[in-house]
Structure 1
Amino acid sequence: MAETRTFDVVVLGGGSGGYATALRAAQLGLTVALVEEGKLGGTCLHRGCIPTKALLHAAEVADAARESETFGVRATFDGIDMAALAAYKDGVVAGLYKGLQGLVSARGITLVEGHGKLVSPDTVEVGGERYTGRNVVLATGSYSRTLPGIEIGGRVITSEQALELDYVPRSALVLGGGVIGVEFASVWRSFGADVQVVEALDHLVPAEDLAVSKALERAFRKRGIGFTLGDRFASVAETDSGVRMTLESGKTLDAEVLLVAVGRGPRTAGLGFEEQGVRLDRGFVVVDERLHTGVGNVYATGDIVPGLQLAHRGFAQGIYVAEQIAGLEPAPIDESGIPRVTYSDPEVASVGLTEQAARERFGDDAVETLDYNLAGNGRSKILATQGFVKLVRRKDGPVVGVHLVGARVGELVGEAQLIVNWEAHPEDVAALVHAHPTQNEALGEAHLALAGKPLHAHN
């Protein structure tokens, strides 16, 4: 066996959590080995956030063409050129991938290509070569989960295969009404497909505030996207023309394809974690608030850590772990302050506590909410979008949750996260001057109203 090479940090996995750890650690003067068996950038860059958002932008362009006469523009929608769409999507990914490769190379990080396995608490083995780290960071990411009784293949696909489809399905079933499910449902509907979503829980995007879920359901209904709520998957069979799904209620649904979007599982099996004493819970790596596993100097980041499975969370955790290893003693990350965005039409964005969570934490009498309808916002009127800003605050205290629905509200969550994370009171935000006419102004007006001085309220 070749001699072992030693580094300050060995990172297993080159996705958002892994490459952020590597880049920050190298910036802080530490020697770093980054092990990745696929392409640097992981799920988010190659099979997740970036390519799906490219599809969603194309869907927005399709809708704009279809509805152009509303705005006095004569354009026609003649269909989707899937080859050209794939070239656009792949071009976006390729550009970001090249940039990331350049960053890793410029920082002097040793990139190790191949399948890595933890063979001791401080050593990762890749193809017979051993890389020892004074610190080891596990960042092996996630995979598309399925359910018992569902065989992926043919017309039964996950988001990975959905991104590579070279045709627009005439009809599609989407199993799972969470973020991934509603985003694909939105895209396919914009592209002209008939879409049905099936969600076992009582609402679409069930992790969001109830008012947000109901607003998205109304919008989907208006767009002609069907959905079945509170009914579970029982079985699926391929038919001559596609797939037939049977639910526990006995209801059957037919379509050309079935997208299985029931969440993502942690990629931790067979990597030597448990053999080295790293504790797993349903496949997730158990860590303390400092992302330490309790074994040696082994840390974990990203989708394998229980909590929100978001690229920006993994990225922040990677920076945090690198700074901790370097002795900077950063403050632990507050998960409730991480923003969440669903890029469907309409978009959903939120940060902080839902109304229900706030009432459970602080008590019914200690919570106050306010809804500000975008119908009163000039920019939203111009964009012909509907939706609202919902604020959740502790009575006579700070805003603890901001929930948004409408076109482009993902771009508003930046100010919302500052409000929640800096524990701003409504009057603090009301005193700030928001540009007119912007949708951002709706955040300002909502806080004015919550501070007791609504400008556009009807007496």
Structure 2
Amino acid sequence: MSEPNEATFDIVILGGGSGGYAAALRAAQLDLSVALIEKGKLGGTCLHNGCIPTKALLHAAEIADQTRESEQFGVKAELHGIDMTAVNSYKDGVVARLYKGLQGLVGGAKNITFVAGAGKLVGKNVVEVDGKRYTGRNIILASGSYAKSLPGLEVDGERIITSDHALTLDRVPASAIVLGGGVIGVEFASVWKSFGVDVTIVEALPRLVAAEDEESSKALERAFRKRKINFKVGKPFEKVEKTDNGVKVTISGGETVEAELLLVAVGRGPNTAGLGYEEQGVKLDRGYVLTDERLRTGVPNVYAVGDIVPGLQLAHRGFQQGIFVAEEIAGQNPAVIDEAGIPRVTYSDPELASVGLTEAKAKEQYGADKIKTYNYNLGGNGKSQILKTTGFVKLVRVEDGPVVGVHMVGARVGEQVGEAQLIYNWEAYPAEVAQLVHAHPTQNEALGEAHLALAGKPLHAHA
């Protein structure tokens, strides 16, 4: 330290979420000194308000559904209700154990100084926290995101809530409107329906999870209809009014929907306001930090990672970006991250999992006449029959070329996306994957079967 009020490091990281702490841990492994600054809890949104707690709720929802449906498997059980105090205790326990583990990892790294407090960029290489300045030979901006609302839609935390509030609800509402049919919206709708809530999704776009392949969206919509989850697509929100018993939402065309709660799930915005970024020359677009493919901001030695960088707002994207920047600073010249190669999973019932290009994007990129697709129905997969799930594996390939997109729908298909990522990122041809042996009976076989069929030698399916 040069003076009591100042300290200098190889890297100063503003934000201790997925991207920030991954960068810190990798940099420490590379013998770089790091100051990791976080105003909230280490782990950020994913660990405390996103990925982990929501998936714990989804698992509790799965248990509720399995209990209701147990008799079809010859097991007699009865669901007496949902004890939200106990559900929250289970969820919070998972988060607490992971948080403790992460604190141990960061605290045990000799090259990382953890700084608790709200940081602000006050110089091109200086972050200030509570009057103390931390100078970095390199700066990584990793300040994360927040749950967005819409103009004129005031979140009160009681009747009109965000996902942050939904994660701490101490009761199961009788009914709920979910504003937004993206990943967050359909996951909460799925949980609440399993808990016995009357759910209606309102989405301005023409289909649910519109960023996914259209066939995946349609399959999810069919499944939601079967589960009696109501949804209204192509219906922009107009206004919300509070009623004696909850809320009344008006959507385009004057149609109204009433419920006990309104969950605002219209996406997440970048946490960049008031942090001094623009004052130091960092370019923003609608609050997002603009970077090049190597995550450089344009200000020398200042990088950005995670949800503040335009693109997929996923924890594993943040992890990879954090690792990438740490290695870039260390002079290792890592390979540029292919955004299309980042796996995507929606953990609703059924799950959606994908990697690579949608059919529409592939046709746009390569030409419609160059794209071939194949759908393998999970009805032909033994493990899927055992689980009583329906869905498919869809492959998108360039004619006489590699597979450029894998799209899956069905229970637990998120667990299969690892192999799909390898297929896409290694530019595998169907015949190459067809040579691999997939264990039987597993859902993973469905990936193998689809590639066998696309290679012209189907086993349990038609080519």
What residue identity is the alignment partner of 1:84?
A: A
**Unaligned residue ranges in structure 2 (runs of 5+):** none
Give the 3-state SS of the residue equivalent to 2:404 in structure 1.
strand
Report % sequence identity. Answer: 72
Give the 3-state SS of the residue equivalent to 1:411 in structure 2.
helix
Cα distance in 1 for partners of 2:458, 2:51 equals 38
Give the 3-state SS of the residue equivalent to 1:54 in structure 2.
helix
**Runs of at least 4 residues off by over 3 Å:** none
- Summarize the alignment of residues 376-415 of structure 1 with structure 2, pairs less than 5 Å apart: 376-415=380-419
Cα distance in 1 for partners of 2:460, 2:92 equals 46
Q: Is the 8 A contact 1:243 1:256 kept in 2?
A: yes
Deviation at 1:356, TM superposition (A): 0.2
Deviation at 1:455, TM superposition (A): 1.5
Aligned to 1:82: 84
Cα distance in 2 for partners of 1:63, 1:398 equals 39
**Residue 136 (str. 1) matches residue 136 (str. 2):** no
Task: Please give the root-mean-square deviation of Cα atoms over the aligned residues, in Å.
Answer: 0.8
Cα distance in 2 for partners of 1:199, 1:248 equals 11
- Offset from partner CA, 1:218-269 (integer Å, 9 cap, x none): 0000000000010100000110000000012110000000000000000000
Aligned to 1:455: 459
Aligned to 1:91: 93
Cα distance in 2 for partners of 1:10, 1:456 equals 55
Deviation at 1:3, TM superposition (A): 2.7
- Summarize the alignment of residues 363-378 of structure 1 with structure 2, pairs less than 5 Å apart: 363-378=367-382
Deviation at 1:456, TM superposition (A): 2.3
Q: Is the 8 A contact 2:283 2:290 kept in 1?
A: yes
Query: Structure 1-normalised TM-score?
Result: 0.99
What residue identity is the alignment partner of 2:152?
A: G
Cα distance in 2 for partners of 1:111, 1:171 equals 43
Aligned equivalent of 1:236, options 235, 240, 256: 240
Count of matched residue pairs: 459
Aligned to 2:434: 430
- Summarize the alignment of residues 1-400 of structure 1 with structure 2, pairs less than 5 Å apart: 2-108=4-110, 109-153=112-156, 154-400=158-404
- Offset from partner CA, 1:400-450 (integer Å, 9 cap, x none): 000000000000001000000000000000011100000000000000000
Give the 3-state SS of the residue equivalent to 1:177 in structure 2.
coil
What residue identity is the alignment partner of 1:114?
A: G
What residue identity is the alignment partner of 2:270?
A: P
Deviation at 1:399, TM superposition (A): 0.2
What residue identity is the alignment partner of 2:145?
A: S
Deviation at 1:358, TM superposition (A): 0.2
Give the 3-state SS of the residue equivalent to 1:84 in structure 2.
helix
Q: Is the 8 A contact 1:2 1:130 kept in 2?
A: no
Give the 3-state SS of the residue equivalent to 2:253 in structure 1.
coil
Cα distance in 2 for partners of 1:389, 1:457 equals 12
Cα distance in 1 for partners of 2:50, 2:337 equals 23
What residue identity is the alignment partner of 2:296?
A: H
Q: Is the 8 A contact 2:12 2:135 kept in 1?
A: yes
What residue identity is the alignment partner of 1:150?
A: L
What residue identity is the alignment partner of 2:358?
A: T
**Residue 444 (str. 1) matches residue 456 (str. 2):** no
Cα distance in 1 for partners of 2:458, 2:116 equals 58
Give the 3-state SS of the residue equivalent to 2:115 in structure 1.
strand
What residue identity is the alignment partner of 2:33?
A: T
Cα distance in 1 for partners of 2:220, 2:4 equals 57
Cα distance in 1 for partners of 2:95, 2:265 equals 22
Cα distance in 1 for partners of 2:403, 2:348 equals 26
Cα distance in 2 for partners of 1:451, 1:79 equals 49
Q: Is the 8 A contact 2:380 2:461 kept in 1?
A: no
Deviation at 1:458, TM superposition (A): 5.1
Cα distance in 1 for partners of 2:236, 2:244 equals 24
Cα distance in 2 for partners of 1:225, 1:3 equals 57
Deviates more, 1:449-458 or 1:214-223: 449-458
Give the 3-state SS of the residue equivalent to 2:275 in structure 1.
coil
Aligned equivalent of 1:419, options 417, 423, 448: 423
Cα distance in 1 for partners of 2:11, 2:457 equals 54
Give the 3-state SS of the residue equivalent to 2:88 in structure 1.
helix
Cα distance in 2 for partners of 1:341, 1:181 equals 14
- Offset from partner CA, 1:268-289 (integer Å, 9 cap, x none): 0000000000000010001011
- Offset from partner CA, 1:314-355 (integer Å, 9 cap, x none): 000000000000111101101010000000000000000000
Q: Is the 8 A contact 2:376 2:461 kept in 1?
A: no
What residue identity is the alignment partner of 1:116?
A: G
Cα distance in 2 for partners of 1:417, 1:393 equals 14
Cα distance in 2 for partners of 1:29, 1:148 equals 47
Cα distance in 1 for partners of 2:16, 2:250 equals 39
**Unaligned residue ranges in structure 1 (runs of 5+):** none
Deviation at 1:457, TM superposition (A): 3.3
Give the 3-state SS of the residue equivalent to 2:193 in structure 1.
helix
